[in-house]
Structure 1
Amino acid sequence: MIIIAAFLAVITISIVIGFYFAVWKDLWRPIIRINDETINMDYVLRRMKYPETTSDITAMLTVITEEEFIRQGAPRYGIEVTPDEIDERLRDIARGSNATISESEFKAWYHDQLSATQLSDAEFRELTRTYMLAERLNEYLGTAMSVVAEQVHVYVIFLGSSEDAWAAIDRFEDGEDFSELARELSLDEETAEQGGDFGWWPEGGGLHENLEYWAFVLEVGQVSEPTLIDEDWQIYAICLVTEREDERPVEEEKLEVMKAGGAIFEKWLNNEWTTYILKGEDIWLNLSGGTFDDYTLQWISLKLLED
């Protein structure tokens, strides 16, 4: 009987081990690696199952990657968040618009947060710390650093229809001066008086998003296609880029818009991506530790459907 029991125990252990390797081992594989830090598949899946997050897998991988960039990058500028500051932030969030919150109320709120997010206490606090680091890094980049950015000098004509806009383009391409066309045709009196001169603009500095798109894809001397900038009034615009500078000081008003909209912080994140990619190392990994692939993407999609 002892021999049979021992045999059954061995079989049971083998089944458990086999189940682990068949089902669980992939959950603990690293899917994101930045320098010496890795983030495993299980964490990504739990972040994606939270109702208020994106259902786009690559978007979530991007978010979590950039969170790690922030954690690793903030200390370079002397930016830190203490455990006491995390406690204070969590209590501020839990209190909401109330003047105070009791210890029991806070504990109940915190328990609900952990249940909803499926994060551990350490993971939730680390995520809170990351958000606080991001806030401080954004503030630092916008105030402590001398901000220069790529900028374009833009001329714009505002018109009442796409047909009018195309007609203006035809006249420009036939050799007429853009500034003279602006004075004659533009619906905006202020810019018309300036011959369409709309000033220097950095990305994220407050230029209408459709105009900004064209301003940064056009070569100097090129004119855009008609672009709709006011759907209610059916106002179209065409723009001409006359100059471009890679590093030009940003005007204070536009700098404030960049800060508020996160454009400076976004530029910093883009630089972090570029710096790491130039190392030639994979950031996102597949289930075998190699370059992220479609099979891994499909595997994640299936795992998300299981619950």
Structure 2
Amino acid sequence: MSSNLNRRRPAPSPAEPGRPKRKLKTGPLLVLLLILFLGNLLWFIAWLIPNDKGGSKEEVASVSGDEITREEWLAAMEDQHGRDTLLELVNQKVMETAAKEYGIKVTDKEVDLELAMLRSTQDSTETALFAGDSARVRDKLKAQLILEKVLTKDVVVEEEQIKAFYEENQSLYDVPDAYRTRMIVVDSMEKAEEAIAELEDGSSFEALARELSIDTASGSLGGDIGYISSKQSSVDAVISETASSLDVGKWSKPLTLENGDIAIITVTEKADGQTFSFKEVSGHISRELALEQLPQSVTPEAFWNEFDAEWFYSE
């Protein structure tokens, strides 16, 4: 999805022999989904807030008899994530209002396209950005599409440019099957067998990954390495090949990685691949090329005054 307005591509030209394919710009989408991840905390906090006023003094933890109250816990979470969470919610509401004002619509098929392309170009080191329920992920992508459509509604892109881009980058729109994968990495076969025994006894894969995995990046996420596809170059070949053969909810036998470590993986979700025709992606391409013609980056905050958006955080 072409939401990065700071990076510009030159106008497309017909493909030339040996010319490399142009890459999708997915960094802004990953930032967008990171904000979504933080946004989920708001709902969690709301769920935790007690109905009675005295409940805020409830003890939620203690250290050597020194208690930590629910009030302190919630205040700490607001300090750490409150601003970003509220910003995400305000911006989403601003974009919904803008869509009504400018008569802009975003279809489910458009969101499906963005999701499919995002999965296919995901950087496996940024998997936390896919956290959150699917409905809210779709809502955030929809808000971003509204922003892009508002910004490009008066920009003209010639049909020849759109066709040239599609011909040059057609492989981008042939999206393979993707598998949401978790892994536990250990340094010996013995530890791998012990982990499998715990899984067979009913232990949570996510909990074991946090406890046992020596891959700290994925371990801190419960082993989540995001969506991967077969023959994906950014992932160890044995992992990508095994993921495509696993049933959802099952785990693999111990896998020896290229660096000698041992991994156990599980697939939590499968996203079927899709091939998008020129007709299906022409609007996406037109919008991407139009964004490159804009002189500067624009965010939803630019519309706050127009739609009387206010919040209590001061700059």
Instruction: Identify, as 1 or 2, the structure richer in helix.
Output: 1
TM-score clears 0.5 = no
| TM-score scaled by length of structure 2 | 0.33
Structure number with greater Rg is 1
| TM-score scaled by length of structure 1 | 0.34
Indicate the structure whose relative CO is greater, using CA pairs within 8 Å and at least 6 residues apart. Answer: 2
